[in-house]
C-alpha cells in the first residue's frame, strides 16, 4: 500500500510545476496509457500461468 501511495505522490508532484495545459494533458494521457498497457501485460502473464503455460 505504501508503494501505491508513493507512486501517487510522485505522479501528483510531477504535474505541479507545469503551466502549459497541452503539455500536462499530453503527459497525463501518456502515463495513463502506460498504466493500462502494464495492466494488460500483467493480466496476460497471470492468465498464462493460470492456464498451465504449455511450452
CB 15 within 8 A of CB 28: yes
Please check whether residue 18 is in contact with residue 28, taking contact to mean a CB–CB distance below 8 angstroms.
no
- Say if residue 18's pLDDT is above 70: yes
Whole-model pTM: value is 0.62
Q: Which residue has the higher pLDDT, 20 or 43?
A: 43
pLDDT of 33 higher than 80? yes
pLDDT at res. 55 = 61
Domain ranges (residues) in the chain: 18-55
What's the pLDDT at 10? 85
As given in the structure block, the three cell numbers for residue 3 are: 508503494
> Which whole number is the average pLDDT over 39-43?
96
Instruction: Please tell me the distance from the alpha carbon of residue 17 to that of residue 34, in angstroms, as a whole number.
Output: 21
Pairwise CA distance, residues 1 & 19, whole Å: 31
Amino acid at each position: 500500500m505504501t508503494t501505491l501511495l508513493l507512486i501517487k505522490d510522485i505522479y501528483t508532484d510531477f504535474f505541479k510545476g507545469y503551466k502549459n495545459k497541452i503539455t500536462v494533458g499530453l503527459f497525463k494521457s501518456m502515463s495513463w496509457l502506460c498504466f493500462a498497457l502494464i495492466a494488460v501485460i500483467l493480466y496476460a502473464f497471470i492468465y498464462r500461468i493460470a492456464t498451465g503455460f504449455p511450452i
